[in-house]
Each structure stands twice: as structure tokens, then as C-alpha cells.
Amino acid sequence: MSVPKYSTACCFFSSQFTCLFVFFIIVAGTTTPCLAKIITNNTTRRHRQVSVDYYARTCPNVEQLVGSVTNQQFKESPVSGPATINLFFHDCFVEGCDGSILIASKQGSRELAEKDAEVTRELRVEGFETVMKAKEAVERKCPGVVSCADILAIAARDYVHLVGGPYYQVKKGRWDGRISMASRVEPNIPHANYTVDQLIKLFNSKGLTIQDMVALSGAHSIGFAHCKHFVKRLYNYKGNGQPDPNVDPKLLNALRMYCPNYGGNLDIVAPFDATTPFVFDQAYYGNLQKKMGLLASDQALVLDPRTKPLVQEFANDKNKFFQAFAAAMDRLSLVGVKRGKKHGEKRRDCSMHA
Ligand code: HEM
């Protein structure tokens, strides 16, 4: 095993109130303003919905523009793939898919931004770089139109496909968020030692099902984790000086070589998928069945009766995994979406509020 090192409508209430307002004018007999109101209402509705062709008129080439950047980045630095997919997941779980993770902390401000939370600081820079470069490319052609949140969602999809995963359509129309707080990160990002109960609870709280959770965990088919996330499993799992019995002995030995119990290099990472670390495939699930999951939270999926049948299904059928993953990414991409000026903004620079 090689262990590489790397330095719909518009707001429901307002649409209801608008309807009441229109109705009132009709009763009063003034038809012209009424018509104007209906037109305004329809326009608002169209603009506020997320849809695949949201930018059809305002920035029809947005996907190609982002695609030119993700293709290039992937060639130059393949770790941009896992980095951006993970960045997207973290963005969506904290405050919703609203680009809040991209905001830089303000100097002198009392509260740090999400980006500077301990967990987020661990994310690779390549994900942030991808979004910044893609935003620059998009701004040159369509200034002030496309949100950073949409760019991140498109880039994550591009990379899933570039590493061999499914291609799926990305709905667009997210606005960027106005809130980015480091303190919101910790309670919203799952830990490597979470139980299945804790995982299910957290994913359910985002409107995602058990199937979504197991399918999305398949993103660990690619990418790497630092030793600190699994070192306890290798030496002292339950505080009794013994390793986790659910780690394959060969994998255990290999991981111990790179991740000593004390004093190891903090930058060392190990691949999630020891068999095909650079290909997005169903091998991740097969590995779980062979006790070759890297994190306790990954391995737990094959030990719980609620998730085990899904692990088996995805391990045996790549198409089912791909379909479930694409559907789950679509649902993930809609978590906490902001629409309209009240809750959102359109940033020119993804790292700064508008
Ligand atoms: C189910 C609960 C999850 C847990 C406990 C978890 C935990 C982790 C941890 C601890 C790392 C390693 C961080 C590091 O050492 O730098 C990681 C990396 C990663 N995670 Fe997850 N994760 C979960 C779900 C997800 C989901 C839903 C996705 C995407 C849809 C995802 C995508 C990734 C990717 C691609 C990496 C590799 C990043 C890289 O190599 O740069 N994870 N995850």
C-alpha cells in the first residue's frame, strides 16, 4: 500500500400575501396594476427557483467556464478532486450550500469565519483555489451573476466525473450566504469516531436519509485522511491498549508504519480506499466488508443492520451506487439553499461578503 505525503416558487408567505393583494385589487376593480403585479410575481418566482437552466439567459456558458478550470486543475493537481468534493460537503453541512465556507475572517472581528474553524483549516487549499479560479473565469464573462455557492456545486460535480464517478445535472440558483461563523462548524461536521446513530441523526437533521448517507460516504472512495483521525483504532481503540478488532491485520500493520502511536509526522495521510485510491468506484464498500475501512465511522456502516444491506448492495452493483450517489449529491446540494436578497448575496469575490 502506498501512503503518499502531501506538503419555487418565491417565498411561500410572500407569494401568498401577493396573491391576497392581487385578489384585493381585482375586487376593487382596478385591473391594470393587478396585471403588473401578476407579472412581477411570476418574474420573482422564476428567479428564485433553483433549476438546471437557471443561468440560461444570464450566463449560458457557466458550466463550460467552470469546466475549463476543473479540467486544468485536475491535470495539474489531481488532489483538487477530493479536496473540492470535501469542501462542498463541508459548505453544505454548515449553514447550507451557500459558499459560507469561502469567506475569510475579518481582521479584528470577534468571531472567526467558518474557514478558520479547526476542522475547516484541515481542508486542502486546492478546493478553495479551484473555486477562486473558476469564479474569476466566470466573472470575466458574466460579471456579478453567478453565485460562489453554485460554482462550488458545479466544480464538485465536475471532479466526481473526472475521477471516474457519475455525471449528474447540477441545479443552480443558490445565493451566497451572509453568515459565516467558525462556531457553527464543530456541531455540524461528523467526526471520524461517530456512531451510526450519531451519523444518522446528523444527516437526518439536514433532510438526508440513511441511503443518502451511505451513498455519500462513497466519496471516501477517493482522498486521504490524516493519522489523527484513525490512530486510536491502531493502538488503543477502547482504552484497553488493543487495536480495533475490525481493522484487517495487514492494513493495521501498514497503517502503523506510517502512523505511530506518539510523535508521528502530523502531515502524513493515508488513502481511504487502499485498493483504488485515485478512482471513484464501489471498491470503498468492498473494503468495508473486508475490514479495510480507514475511519471508525466508515467501518461502522458495515456493522449496523440499518446500513449494512446498503453497503452490500453498493459493493455488488456499481450502477446502483452511482445512481444513489448522484441522487444524494442532488439532495445534498439543496440543503439550506438561500434565495433572494433577504438571506443571500451575490459576491464578486468569494472570500468577501458583498
Ligand atoms: C459520513 C460522515 C463523514 C465523516 C465522519 C467524514 C470524515 C472525514 C475525515 C476525518 C476526513 C479526513 C480529513 C483530513 O484528514 O484531512 C475526510 C475526508 C474526505 N471526505 Fe469525509 N466524512 C464524512 C462524509 C463525507 C461526505 C458526505 C463526503 C462527500 C460527499 C465526504 C468527502 C470526503 C473527501 C472527498 C475526503 C478526502 C479529502 C482529501 O483528500 O482532500 N465525506 N472525511
Identify which has the larger pLDDT, 26 or 174: 174
Question: What is the mean pLDDT of the segment spanning 84-93?
Answer: 98
Tell me which residue of 198, 199, 224, 264 sits closest to 122, measured CA to CA. Answer: 224
pLDDT mean over 63-86: 98
Q: Quickly tell me which residue has 478550470 as its cell.
A: 69
Could you tell me the pLDDT band of residue 48, with boundaries at 50, 70 and 90?
Answer: low
122 close to ligand 1 (CB < 6 Angstrom): yes
Cell numbers for 59: 450566463
Contact 340/11 with Cβ under 8 angstroms?
yes
Identity of the highest mean pLDDT range in 2-16, 35-49, 105-119: 105-119
Q: For atom 2 of ligand 1, which residue has the closest CA? A: 190
Q: What is the pLDDT of residues 241-273, one digit of tens each?
A: 999 999 999 999 999 999 999 988 999 999 999
Asked if 175 and 127 count as a contact pair (C-beta separation under 8 A), the reply is no
* Atom of ligand 1 lying closest to residue 123 CA: 16
* Least reliable range by pLDDT among 32-41, 110-119, 160-169: 32-41
Judged against a pLDDT cut of 70, whether residue 6 lies above it is answered with: no
What distance in angstroms lies between residue 160's CA and the mean position of ligand 1's atoms? 14
306 pLDDT higher than 70? yes
Q: Minimal CA–CA distance to 127: which of 43, 55, 70?
A: 70
* pLDDT for res 84: 98
pLDDT above 70 for 13: no
**342 confidence band (pLDDT: 50, 70, 90):** confident
pLDDT beyond 90 at 33: no
Ligand 1: centre distance to CA 217 (Å): 8
Cα–Cα distance measured from residue 275 to residue 288, given in angstroms and rounded to the nearest whole number: 12
Q: Annotated binding site for heme b, which residues?
A: 220
CA 91 to ligand 1 centroid distance, Å: 12
157 lines ligand 1 (CB under 6 A): no
User: What is the tens place of the pLDDT at every residue in 285-297?
Assistant: 999 999 999 999 9
Alpha carbon of 63 to ligand 1 centroid (Å): 25
**Residues taking part in catalysis:** 90
Which DSSP state fits 304? S
What average pLDDT score do residues 46-75 get?
Answer: 92
Q: 89: Cβ below 6 Å to ligand 1?
A: yes
Distance CA 79, CA 193 (A): 24
Please name the CATH architecture into which domain 196-332 falls. Orthogonal Bundle (1.10)
Give the integer Cα–Cα distance in Å for 122 and 138: 27
Q: Among the listed ranges 83-92, 128-137, 260-269, which one has the minimum average pLDDT value?
A: 260-269
Distance CA 97, CA 119 (A): 17
Query: Residue 216: CB within 6 Å of ligand 1?
Result: yes
- What is the residue with the minimal CA distance to atom 35 of ligand 1? 82
Residue 308 CB neighbour total at 10 angstroms:
17
Q: Where are the alpha helices (DSSP H) in 223-275?
A: 231-235, 249-258
Residue nearest to atom 1 of ligand 1 (CA): 217
DSSP per position, 310-326:
HHHHHHH-HHHHHHHHH
Q: 171 CB under 6 A from ligand 1?
A: no
Q: How far is 266 from 260, CA to CA, in rounded Å? A: 10
Look at ligand 1, atom 37, and give the residue with the nearest C-alpha.
223
- In tens, the pLDDT along 183-200 reads 999 999 999 999 999 999
Residue 110 has pLDDT above 80, yes or no: yes
Stretch among 36-40, 169-173, 201-205, 346-350 having the lowest mean pLDDT: 36-40
Contact 10, 45 (CB under 8 A): yes
pLDDT for 108: 85
Helices (H), the chain: 12-28, 31-48, 62-76, 80-93, 118-121, 125-141, 148-162, 196-205, 210-217, 231-235, 249-258, 283-289, 296-299, 308-316, 318-332
Pick among 2.60.40.1170, 1.10.520.10, 3.20.20.70, 3.40.190.10: CATH of 62-189+334-345: 1.10.520.10
Say yes or no: CB of residue 233 within 6 Å of ligand 1: no
Give the confidence band of 26 by pLDDT, cuts at 50, 70, 90: very low
Write phi, then psi, for 9 (nearest 5 degrees). Answer: 155, 160
